[in-house]
């Protein structure tokens, strides 16, 4: 028998990808995924744009493209999504990724050796934990409160562990839905400079806001150049396109280009060009407003459902945007409950534990997605979960 690589033994399958596979069963209501509202996809516009692109720029859509990405997309991304947020950047500061998941992977590939310390929010995006485990990084969690990362804990851990990198999702964090406060954004940019630490600011959700005022990215306070901003078109346009983008100092963008050559040569051109045209035609603001209305309704339904059906001691977050509510039901074991929820109650959610690095954390927590099911389904799912919780006695 041929042996697998050692790193493979450290890779766990994604719980969320496993839940995604179950969704073939139409009876199950999934609060487990991270899909946008299907009703909100800009289908007609994408179809129209795609047809024009293939008519007017057919060969460019089908031929090889630059590893750094389709130039009109890099320009449109800067004009519509980077500079308006107070980040100064030129085309040399951006590179397109095959989804922001690839961006996470390749940033770690550029910086992280086995044993290097990487700080993460505790809890955080489980894909990031999986990739860091595979790379044999020393992963250290930083404590959060309702305003995101606690700066005192962050600085203490920087001093103790000399991390090479901090991975953070500052806005509508996955899985908690929490947002980092403005002063803390400034503080993180300062710590990155003072301690010569890379900050990977992963912001796939920030533009999907349904209430409250926008917060500037950490990157907008970055004077040292140590902050890398990572964005995604998965939640703002569509995830099936697999398009993300990075903004960073030019030297780092060149290193990302180097590792991307070996990873997939370049991101598919037609999906990139669809995103570019969508931005260039100025369609994003109205689209985000439409999506925001859907999400606001669905979050409201989830909040009503939790209040009405969940145990009275349930604690949950109230995000101003993004896709997720994070709930805690003291005393529950959500890994066990999830199995019963799927098989007996036909509802899926993601148990809290996999978002933590320690196996004894998050056991009574769960992540609930409100973006991808309609109000009726969310209400029914909350009711079914309420019955499950009640059955525990």
Among 29, 46, 306, 337, binds its own copies (CB under 8 A): 46
Instruction: State whether residue 255 is helix, strand or coil.
Output: helix
Residue 257 beta carbon to its own copies: minimum distance, rounded to whole angstroms: 8
270 to 299: interface string for its own copies, x by CB under 8 A: xx----------------------------
Our CB check for its own copies shows the closer of 70 and 345 to be: 70
The answer to the question of residue 175 lying near its own copies (CB under 8 A) is: no
Instruction: Supply 375's token pair.
Output: 């109000």
Our CB check for its own copies shows the closer of 13 and 393 to be: 13
The answer to the question of residue 101 lying near its own copies (CB under 8 A) is: yes
The answer to the question of residue 51 lying near its own copies (CB under 8 A) is: yes
**At CA 25, angle to CA 22 and CA 27, rounded to 5?**
125
Which residues within the stretch 241-270 sit at the binding site for its own copies (CB under 8 A)?
241-243, 255, 258-259, 261-270
Residue 187 beta carbon to its own copies: minimum distance, rounded to whole angstroms: 19
Q: Strand (E) positions, 69-216?
A: 94-97, 117-121, 138-142, 144-145, 148-149, 165-168, 198-203
The answer to the question of residue 388 lying near its own copies (CB under 8 A) is: no
d(CA 205, CA 203): 6
Q: Which stretch binds its own copies (CB under 8 A): 124-132, 140-148, 174-182, 333-341?
A: 124-132
d(CA 77, CA 371): 24
| CB contact set of 311 (below 8 Å; sequence gap of 6+) | 329, 389, 390
d(CA 280, CA 96): 16
The answer to the question of residue 346 lying near its own copies (CB under 8 A) is: no
**At CA 118, angle to CA 114 and CA 122, rounded to 5?**
135
Which residues within the stretch 195-224 sit at the binding site for its own copies (CB under 8 A)?
196-198
The answer to the question of residue 14 lying near its own copies (CB under 8 A) is: yes
The answer to the question of residue 191 lying near its own copies (CB under 8 A) is: no
Residue 243 beta carbon to its own copies: minimum distance, rounded to whole angstroms: 8
Instruction: Please state, as a whole number, how many other Cβ atoms lie within 10 Å of the Cβ of residue 245.
Output: 26
Q: Which stretch binds its own copies (CB under 8 A): 43-51, 151-159, 319-327, 331-339?
A: 43-51
Which residues within the stretch 138-167 sit at the binding site for its own copies (CB under 8 A)?
164
336, 339, 331, 296: which is closest to 310 by C-alpha? 331
**Count of residues engaged in binding its own copies, rule: CB under 8 A:** 77
Residue 34 beta carbon to its own copies: minimum distance, rounded to whole angstroms: 8
d(CA 352, CA 335): 8
202, 17, 190: which is closest to 106 by C-alpha? 202
């Amino acid at each position: 028998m041929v042996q697998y690589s050692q790193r493979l033994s450290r890779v766990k399958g994604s719980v969320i990808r496993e839940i995604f596979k179950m969704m073939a069963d139409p009876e199950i209501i999934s609060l487990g995924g991270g899909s946008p509202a299907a009703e909100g996809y800009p289908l007609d516009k994408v179809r129209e744009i795609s047809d024009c692109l293939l008519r007017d720029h057919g060969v460019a859509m089908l031929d090889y493209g630059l590893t750094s990405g389709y130039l009109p997309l890099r320009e449109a991304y800067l004009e519509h999504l980077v500079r308006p947020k107070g980040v100064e950047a030129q085309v040399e500061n951006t590179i397109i990724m095959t989804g922001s998941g690839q961006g996470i992977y390749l940033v770690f590939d550029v910086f992280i050796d086995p044993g290097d310390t990487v700080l993460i929010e505790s809890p955080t995006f489980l894909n990031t934990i999986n990739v860091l485990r595979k790379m044999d990084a020393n992963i250290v969690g930083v404590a959060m409160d309702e305003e995101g990362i606690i700066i005192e804990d962050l600085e203490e851990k920087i001093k103790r562990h000399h991390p090479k990198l901090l991975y953070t999702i500052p806005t509508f964090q996955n899985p908690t839905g929490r947002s980092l406060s403005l002063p803390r954004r400034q503080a993180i940019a300062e710590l990155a400079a003072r301690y010569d630490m890379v900050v990977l600011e992963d912001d796939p959700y920030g533009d999907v806001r349904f209430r409250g005022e926008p917060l500037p990215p950490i990157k907008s306070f970055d004077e040292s150049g140590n902050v890398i901003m990572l964005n995604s078109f998965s939640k703002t346009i569509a995830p099936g396109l697999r398009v993300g983008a990075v903004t960073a100092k030019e030297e780092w963008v060149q290193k990302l280009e180097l590792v991307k050559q070996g990873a997939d040569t370049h991101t598919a051109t037609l999906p990139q060009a669809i995103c570019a045209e969508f931005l260039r035609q100025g369609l994003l603001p109205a689209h985000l407003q439409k999506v925001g209305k859907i999400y606001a309704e669905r979050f409201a339904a989830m909040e009503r459902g939790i209040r009405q059906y969940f145990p009275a001691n349930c604690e949950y977050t109230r995000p101003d945007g993004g896709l997720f509510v994070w709930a805690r039901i003291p005393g529950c074991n959500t890994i066990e409950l999830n199995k019963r929820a799927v098989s007996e109650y036909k509802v899926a959610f993601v148990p809290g534990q996999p978002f933590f690095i320690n196996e004894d954390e998050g056991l009574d927590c769960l992540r609930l997605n409100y973006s991808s099911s309609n109000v009726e389904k969310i209400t029914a799912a909350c009711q079914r979960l309420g019955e499950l919780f009640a059955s525990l006695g």
